[in-house]
Structure 1
Amino acid sequence: MELSLSQTLANLFDGTCDASVVAFSPAPDANLASHRLGWSHSILCASPGYLAAHGVPRSPDDLKAHDCLTLRTTMLSSRA
């Protein structure tokens, strides 16, 4: 067994991979069998010092003016 870790979606149609675990994904390809393994929740955090220096956001739109670390995932189509 070989485990390969990547931030891109595995190509399950080229014969090099038999299974894939995807952290976040839109609806899977209709040609694939899929099962939800669990749920993941995100929370917004800030240190007291950051909030004192930059203010407390009161709405999602306020976050545009703040320095935020975000996790971005993209679904890449690897099927021709």
Structure 2
Amino acid sequence: MMKMFFDDEPYGVFFLIDNKSFYASCEAVARGLNPLKVPLVVLSEAENTNGGLILATSPEAKRLFHLKANISRKRDL
């Protein structure tokens, strides 16, 4: 069995915030909208995605458009 040594690894206290629909929330706030009430979808614009990928959706957009997957295609709207 191989022993692992962590003596030289950095250490500290780490804090993680799991923000609901982070990118959609940031976009909503930047536009002065309530991120929990606005139906907002963030899309990619890459040409190799056949119209774009849905990168983030607000909770209201998920409810209205029945989006379940974290990353979907634009056609799923």
> TM range, normalised to the smaller chain?
under 0.3
Please report the TM-score for the alignment, with normalisation by the length of structure 2: 0.25
Query: Of Structure 1 and Structure 2, which has the larger fraction of its residues in helix?
Result: 2
Query: Of Structure 1 and Structure 2, which has the larger fraction of its residues in strand?
Result: 2
